[in-house]
Amino acid sequence: MSDLPTLQIIAIITGLAGTSVLAGILAGLLGVGGGIVLVPVLFWLLSATDFPPELSMHMAVATSLATIIFTSISSARAHNKRGSVDTALLRLWAPGIALGALTGGLAAKYIDADGLKLVFGSIAVLVAINMALPKTLVISDHMPRNRAVNAAISYGTGVFSALMGIGGGTLSVPLLSAFSVEIRRAVGTASAFGFLIAVPAAAGFIYSGLGVEGRPPLSLGYVNLLGAVIILPFTVGFAPVGAKLAHTLETKWIKRAFALFLGITAVRMLMSALG
């Protein structure tokens, strides 16, 4: 990174700041985690430079996870003040979520860039389809009563969230909604899941990236600290703007537009992995 021309470095920082603003607004407006926006854009920004292609996806995912640690705390506290964090559900899913996230972070050591692209692209396509549907899929009118089933679902959510570099909302809100959890409780509880995902997953990516050649300066494992510092003020600062807009705008069409953007991005990432 230090060998890049000054204009390219400025372009990356500017693009990162602009993406962070968009991620913060969408997080507040649609209830999706900023990582679902940050990861693909970070990846494309790095890919547009001479940055080592085998590191781009790992750095994008890990840096996104590092920012989620802090944004999820702010979000969870706000939701908890409004009584929308279901503590019983949080206790039920917390062990599986955290263990799955740690597994995903450590597994990154053995998954190449194309593997991470396939994971992100495949699941992002499903998320885009879910967002575009007029009605939420409902599997049951209650949460699974079997603890083993809950453990399996929460573990899988943690693993795939870690490998995608996203917080709790993108995967767990549709899952909880499918089990008829009221949407405000689902979003509020998922905000707390974000912290449980981000901490062990980021730790796993830090360990997995230690000693890897070609990482940019100020990197801790696969986490770039400078990138995280640039992202955080914008995502945290603009999330309330998105939340305010959610009460004044018709979000149905915004959600469908974002689903289109996410779908195109996911397909491009899949083509990049398979091409």
**pLDDT tens for residues 141-183?**
889 999 999 999 999 999 999 999 988 778 888 888 889 888 7
pLDDT digits (tens, 9 = 90+) for 94-118: 999 999 999 999 999 899 999 999 9
Would you state the pLDDT for residue 246? Answer: 67
Would you state the pLDDT for residue 25? Answer: 82
33 confidence band (pLDDT: 50, 70, 90): low
Question: Measured between alpha carbons, how far is 255 from 21 in angstroms, rounded to an integer?
Answer: 17
Regarding predicted confidence, which is higher, 197 or 250? 197
193 confidence band (pLDDT: 50, 70, 90): very high
Residue 243, both tokens: 């939340």
Q: How far is CA 173 from the centre of its chain?
A: 13
- Asked whether the predicted pLDDT for residue 2 surpasses 60, the reply is no
Would you state the pLDDT for residue 5? Answer: 67
Query: Among 5-19, 61-75, 209-223, which is the least confidently predicted range?
Result: 5-19
- Asked whether the predicted pLDDT for residue 200 surpasses 70, the reply is yes
Beta strands in 53-193 (DSSP E): none
- Asked whether the predicted pLDDT for residue 190 surpasses 90, the reply is no
Residue 248, both tokens: 């004044």
Would you state the pLDDT for residue 9? Answer: 72
Nearest residue to 263 via CA among 132, 167, 173, 172: 132
Tally helices (H) and strands (E) across the chain. Answer: 10, 2
Question: Measured between alpha carbons, how far is 270 from 188 in angstroms, rounded to an integer?
Answer: 31
Would you state the pLDDT for residue 31? Answer: 62
Can you tell me whether residue 20 is helix, strand or coil?
Answer: helix
Please tell me the pTM assigned to this model: 0.87
- Asked whether the predicted pLDDT for residue 30 surpasses 80, the reply is no
- Percentage of residues of the chain with pLDDT beyond 90: 39
- Asked whether the predicted pLDDT for residue 274 surpasses 60, the reply is yes
Regarding predicted confidence, which is higher, 206 or 272? 206
